Amino acid sequence: MKYDPEKAPDPNDWLSLDEDERISLAIQYHRQHREKLPNVRLHAVLHVIIENQLAEPIPVVKEALARLMAEGLDRHEALHAIGSVLATHLFQQMKGQSNSIDPNDPYLKDLRSLTASSWREQTR
């Protein structure tokens, strides 16, 4: 199997892979495309987490991806936008800064309000 963030992997095929295989596929894609990343493994892990959420599926993540693409982001860029929200929430969890009973609630809430415009503004 090859990974291309511009194309949704078949959910059954994706989820049948071992987690390390998924990460390796994402690393391989980014290395082949010579993307300059400070930490290609961490970047790939975020891709894999989001692809897992899409394959399971988690409706809010699927809706966010569809909305971002309808607003003009390509699929890869939309994954990055979702990944930025995920990374922020993971960091807050690691620092013990979440007051929510369910640690997913703030993440899902922020995904609901994520727009292509807000993502573009963040990356300037």
Q: Average the pLDDT over 52-71 and give the result.
A: 98
Q: Of the given ranges (48-52, 56-60, 103-107, 109-113), which has the lowest mean pLDDT?
A: 103-107
Per-residue exposure over 68-77, b if at least 16 CB sit within 10 Å of its own CB, e if not: beebebeeeb
pLDDT tens digits, residue range 64-121?
999 999 999 999 999 999 999 999 998 888 888 767 778 889 999 999 999 999 999 9
**All residues at 6 or more sequence positions from 53 whose CB lies less than 8 Å from its CB, including other chains:** 61
Task: Please tell me the pTM assigned to this model.
Answer: 0.94
In this prediction, residue 62 carries a pLDDT of: 98
Above 90 in pLDDT, residue 16?
A: yes
In 3D space, the residue among 101, 102, 8, 5 whose CA is nearest the CA of residue 44 turns out to be 5
CA distance 21 to 25: 6
Mean pLDDT of the residues in the chain: 94
